[in-house]
Structure 1
Amino acid sequence: MNFTPVGVDIAKQVFQVHWVDPQTGEVISRQIRRAAFLEHFANRTPCLIGMEACGGAQHWARRLGEMGHQVRLMPGKAVKAFVIGNKNDVADARAIWNAVQQPCVRAVAVKTETQQAVLALHRMRQQLVRFRTMQINGLRGLLTEYGEVMAVGRAALNRAMAGVLARLSERLPAMLMDTLREQWQRLDVLDEQIAQIERRLSEWMKEERACRQIADIPGVGLLTATAAVATMGDPKTFSSGREFAAWLGLVPRQTGTGGKLRLHGISKRGDVYLRTLLIHGARSVLARTKEPGPWIEQLRRRRPNNVVTVALANKLARTIWALLAHDRKYEKAHVSVRPV
């Protein structure tokens, strides 16, 4: 079935739609209010709708998909290359219409509401961890102004805080001392909120078969398993594990001309959060595993530790894709054989 390509530039209230009528060849660029957006596409034959993967795009992709349309969400960086002239809603919709017809543009997976809910928990947990780090650093900085210097880290703060407050209570006003105690106690509240989110993620992990499949991989724990399943969506959208690893930015960046190809550091494209979790998981494997295996041992002799860590993170990503795409359990002694 031939789907008419349609470019949609979404916003809060006014959406810009661009397409070419397949019968007359007329170029149509139209503004549609938010309230009438779904009604417009409900009355049309199935289309190939392209949108930037920005805020709200997942919601509209699900709703349009329920109507029978084929929706492709694309990274903003891929669409930007097709913007001609000044950047405005009309030019953006035209660029999206051009980009959605290019087979080389990698589409972002349309996620279910449950997968988005899991990612929302991850984002809120990450925000709370940042708040906690800011709170610790703020307390250390304020106390340094009064001659109390503490080592870096939460454990060092807990060990020294009681004695520091006792010494300063004789010199400083009570209003400041009470506030410092409240801010210190607030760290326990943040700890409990973070732990509560982790318990909810753990409950979902027990219910989700895909999470249990990849949780047996060394270096893949609660956070990595739940984030990987929710971020990937359908593993069949990637043709191979190497493509999934490249999508996460765990492959070398390439430059070349005249037939000469040069490899640089990793590209760092894709999801920063999931890539960070995979690298931390690989680092924990290298630090704690007594028998890392011959592949890692050989790599350690030839490459620096950071390169080995990223290489193992790449392998973790490929293993995750292989287990989910082929519906298999993790086997430590499994040997991958290239099909003939």
Structure 2
Amino acid sequence: MKLTPVGIDIAKNVMQMHYVDEGTGEVVNKPIKRAQFLEYFANRAPCLIGMEACGGAHHWARQLTKMGHQVKLMPAQFVKAFNIRNKNDAADARAIWLAVQQPSKPVAVKTEMQQAMLALHRTRERMVAFRTMQINGLRGMLTEYGEVMGKGRAAITKAIPEVLARVADRLPAVLIDTLREQWNRVAELDEQIARIERRMREWKKDDRAVKAISEIPGVGLLTATAAVAMMGDVKAFRSGREFAAWVGLVPKQTGSGGKVNLHGISKLGDTYLRTLLIHGARSVLTNAKEPGPWIEQMKKRRPLNVVIVALANKMARTIWAVLAHDRPYQKGYVSAKPA
């Protein structure tokens, strides 16, 4: 059964739609209000609906899929290549309509639980950044009064009570009270971050996939939950190599005339997940008693940071293999190509 391709440029209040009516051949490019959007597709024959993978796209994709339509989410940079000249809603909808008919790798539609876990990760990331800003701000203000503390959270936690006690005799009380309030704010952020991590652990207990990849060395609570949530559907990736490339842990390529040049990692995909994988790989190299012969041999001939990224790439491939083949992690497992 051939599905009618439809391009939809989603927005907050108005959705722009573009398709060609099969019966009349008329080109339809019109806006639809948000409240009438699902109603419009409720009684239509199944369509191939294309949308950019942006804010709200996963919600609409889930709703349209329930109605029997096939939804294809595409990266915005892929759609951009089909937008010629003017940039407006009508042109964007037409570009999406053109793009959805091309062979390409779609973005996996995430479940509500996966999106909820990503929301926890983003909230925690903002809180950690704000906590760092608070600590650095306190350190900078106290430096103006001759109180210099060491770098790092442990150093300022140990020194701040004595520092505030010393400056209390010579600084206005209003400033001392404000500094104490700011330091208490850091403790409140610690508690909020800890609560978010406890909620992540609760999901880990109930999710089989998260528990499976948590056995991989270097994959902790944050990496496991973020990987499962961001991946969406493991079947969206054909191999572990493709998943590692999606994360951005493969060399960037340039070349012409049949010659290919390899550079540093591409840094495509989500920066947050790539950072977690690299930090996990660094932890393995730092703390593991027996990292393994593969790592030991590579350390002899490559710089440390190159080894870390290579191990992060291997971790990403292992995550895909464990989830795709639905079997537990086995240390020292060697894959064999089929005969």
Partner of residue 305, structure 1: 304
Partner of residue 261, structure 1: 260
Report the alpha carbon displacement of residue 166 of structure 1 after superposing the two structures with TM.
Answer: 1.3
TM-score (norm 2): 0.98
Aligned mates of 2:102, 2:218 — CA distance in 1? 37
Report the alpha carbon displacement of residue 292 of structure 1 after superposing the two structures with TM.
Answer: 1.2
Instruction: State the one-letter code of the partner of 2:129.
Output: R
Partner of residue 49, structure 1: 49
Partner of residue 179, structure 2: 180
Q: Equivalent residues in 2 for 1:167-206 (5 A)?
A: 167-206=166-205
SS state of the match for residue 254, structure 1? strand
Partner of residue 102, structure 1: 102
Report the alpha carbon displacement of residue 25 of structure 1 after superposing the two structures with TM.
Answer: 2.7
Partner of residue 91, structure 2: 91
Aligned residues: 339
Partner of residue 112, structure 1: 111
Higher alpha-carbon deviation: 252-261 or 70-79: 70-79
Instruction: State the one-letter code of the partner of 2:120.
Output: L
Aligned mates of 2:101, 2:316 — CA distance in 1? 29
Partner of residue 269, structure 2: 270
Q: Equivalent residues in 2 for 1:111-150 (5 A)?
A: 111-150=110-149
Aligned mates of 2:301, 2:87 — CA distance in 1? 48
Aligned mates of 1:180, 1:63 — CA distance in 2? 50
Aligned mates of 1:228, 1:28 — CA distance in 2? 40
Instruction: State the one-letter code of the partner of 1:70.
Output: Q
SS state of the match for residue 72, structure 2? strand
Aligned mates of 2:332, 2:156 — CA distance in 1? 44
SS state of the match for residue 129, structure 2? helix
Percent identity between matched residues is: 72
Instruction: State the one-letter code of the partner of 1:2.
Output: K
Aligned mates of 1:166, 1:198 — CA distance in 2? 33
1:272-329 CA distance string (max 9 Å, x none): 1111111111110111112111111121122111111111111111100111011010
Aligned mates of 1:333, 1:305 — CA distance in 2? 22
Aligned mates of 2:31, 2:49 — CA distance in 1? 15
Report the alpha carbon displacement of residue 26 of structure 1 after superposing the two structures with TM.
Answer: 2.2
SS state of the match for residue 103, structure 2? coil
Partner of residue 331, structure 1: 330
Instruction: State the one-letter code of the partner of 2:214.
Output: A
Partner of residue 13, structure 1: 13
1:229-256 CA distance string (max 9 Å, x none): 1111111111111011111111111011
Partner of residue 221, structure 1: 220
Aligned mates of 1:25, 1:258 — CA distance in 2? 43
Report the alpha carbon displacement of residue 44 of structure 1 after superposing the two structures with TM.
Answer: 1.1
Instruction: State the one-letter code of the partner of 1:329.
Output: P
Aligned mates of 1:58, 1:122 — CA distance in 2? 18
TM-score (norm 1): 0.98
Aligned mates of 1:238, 1:22 — CA distance in 2? 33
Instruction: State the one-letter code of the partner of 1:38.
Output: L
Aligned mates of 2:23, 2:321 — CA distance in 1? 44
Instruction: State the one-letter code of the partner of 1:194.
Output: I
Q: Does 1:76 align with 2:95?
A: no
Aligned mates of 1:299, 1:8 — CA distance in 2? 49
Report the alpha carbon displacement of residue 109 of structure 1 after superposing the two structures with TM.
Answer: 1.0
SS state of the match for residue 150, structure 2? coil
Instruction: State the one-letter code of the partner of 2:75.
Output: P
Aligned mates of 1:46, 1:265 — CA distance in 2? 44
SS state of the match for residue 218, structure 2? coil
Aligned mates of 1:297, 1:82 — CA distance in 2? 47
Unaligned stretches of 5+ in structure 1? none
Instruction: State the one-letter code of the partner of 1:78.
Output: F
Instruction: State the one-letter code of the partner of 1:305.
Output: L
SS state of the match for residue 83, structure 2? coil
Aligned mates of 2:55, 2:196 — CA distance in 1? 23
SS state of the match for residue 115, structure 1? helix
1:210-229 CA distance string (max 9 Å, x none): 11111110000111111111
1:166-208 CA distance string (max 9 Å, x none): 1111111101100101111111111110000101100110110
Instruction: State the one-letter code of the partner of 2:7.
Output: G
SS state of the match for residue 212, structure 2? helix
**Cα root mean square deviation, aligned:** 1.0
